[in-house]
Structure 1
Amino acid sequence: MRIPAIAVTLLAFSVLAARPLTAQEHVHTPGMTHPAPPAQLPTQGGQAAFAAIAEIVALLQADATTDWSKVNLERLRLHLVDMDLVTLRSRVVATPVAGGAQFLVRGTGESIAAIKRMTGAHVTMVMNSGGPRVVRTELPDGVRLIVTAADPGDAAAVAKLRGLGFIGLMVSGDHHPAHHLALARGDRMADHGH
């Protein structure tokens, strides 16, 4: 009896498919490469404000004491909008003064109010933390900050203030993460006017 060719082919494939391959049968040849293992997932949410809010949400969810009736992530989002406006959409003119520097921080549209809110709150925190002396004056389109070292005769401290500039002064200190968490938790003391 003659077996049709298709049946022989199917039988051969089924025998080969049923036979497990072992690692010892895998032969490497020169120049052979393997695909890279799957990459680790990114840790950022794709945009800084989005990632900051996602981090806060994760902290709130992990904390069994979170009072969800007080949580207000919109306040945090609005604060992050202010941070963006001040950081990226304001104009700063720095001028050396005795013992430090003067910063004229100006904007247009929404950035004016953001400049006033952010600098108002931050100047208070700088002064309360023993930082440099800051005199803040509101202008129609922003603020004037005169920042002087605690010891105006300390050349290194004065150079540091001038080197930091306005944005360096704004980001100095480690209070920002705690402030963002307090805003999201609904702590009224953390408010900047939102």
Structure 2
Amino acid sequence: MRPQRVLPAVALFALLIAPAQAQHHEMHSAQGEAGPSDAAVLQAPGQAVFGTVQEAIRALEADSTTDWSEVDVDRLRRHLLDMHHVAMHVDVVQKTPIENGVRIRVRPTKDAARAALGRVLDAHPAMLKMETGWTMDVDKGESAYTLRVTTEAPREEDKIRALGYIGLLAYGQHHQHHHWKLVQGTRPHEPSSHHEDPSP
């Protein structure tokens, strides 16, 4: 009769310790896996220029035809700084609907932004025309620029007005192509001279 009393006790003990053993095993498994996965927890590089440069370097490394003697990462960086100034240090003074489109007056708030905006607006109208058919006319004043963007398609007029200054500059896929050509060391549409600015 004694063995019949022992078996329930053993079974009860097993039921009590099983959850603790399972939890202990899971903790050790998680700890063992934590090390290798730590590097994959965070994905963002923390800064937009870093992110674009990292993406470009990965693409260069994956491209078997990359000629590293021609690669120019610094040139890409300078262009990205131009984009930063144009996005962050230019005030939109006025936006007015006009026939077939919009007129926008903008004023750079820093010398670096003024120089950057001049370089960007030298090239962007032609790229916008190529991608969309829209016409961007640029008038440069003493302290401000006036952009006049129009379309021959009436259904696109509201879209142009809604995009506004930054939307019209960011619009399209030519930026990515341009960045790729820059980092490869080719010379796209922009002038070759860029001026460093210590405060991006």
Shorter-chain TM band = 0.7 to 0.9
Please state if 1:94 is matched with 2:95.
yes
Q: Is the 8 A contact 2:76 2:182 kept in 1?
A: yes
Partner of 2:131: 129
Contact 1:76 / 1:183 at 8 angstroms: preserved in 2?
A: yes
Structure 1 residues 26, 51: closer, same or farther in 2, change over 3 A? Answer: farther
In structure 1, the partner of 2:66 is 66
Matches within 5 A, 1:1-194: 27-28=18-19, 38=34, 40-92=40-92, 93-107=94-108, 108-151=110-153, 154=154, 156-193=155-192, 194=194
Contact 1:133 1:148 in 2 (8 A): yes
Q: Residues 134-153 of structure 1: CA distance to partner in whole angstroms, max 9, x if unpaired? A: 111222334211011223xx
What is the CA–CA distance in structure 2 between the aligned matches of 1:167 and 1:79, rounded to whole Å?
Answer: 16
SS at match of 2:188: helix
Following superposition, the deviation at residue 94 of structure 1 comes to 1.3
> Aligned partners of 2:139, 2:53: CA distance in 1, in Å?
32
- The CA RMSD over aligned residues, in Å, is 2.5
User: What code does the residue aligned with 2:131 have?
Assistant: S
How far, CA to CA, are the matches of 1:98 and 1:117 in structure 2? 27
Normalization by structure 2: what TM-score? 0.74
Pair 1:125–1:104, CA change in 2 (3 A): same
Find the aligned partners of 2:17 and 2:141 in 1 and give their Cα distance.
Answer: 75
Shift of 1:130: 3.6
Quick one: structure 1 residues 98 and 126, their matched pair in 2 at CA, closer, same or farther if it must change by over 3 Å?
same
Whether the aligned pair in 2 keeps the contact of 1:105 and 1:115 (CA below 8 Å) is: no
What amino acid sits opposite 1:116 in the alignment?
G
Count, aligned residues? 166
Q: Which has the higher helix share?
A: 2
* Partner amino acid, structure 2, of 1:115: L
Q: In the TM superposition, what whole-angstrom CA distance separates every residue of 1:145-169 from its partner, at most 9, and x where no partner exists? A: 1011223xx2x41111111111111
- 1:120 shift after superposition: 1.9
Residue 61 of structure 1: how far off its partner (Å): 1.5
- Percent pairwise identity: 33
Residues 135 and 41 of structure 1: CA distance in aligned 2, closer, same or farther (over 3 Å): same
d(CA) in 1 for partners of 2:97, 2:175: 27
Do the aligned residues in 1 keep the contact of 2:134 with 2:151 (CA within 8 Å)?
yes
Q: SS at the partner of 1:168? A: helix
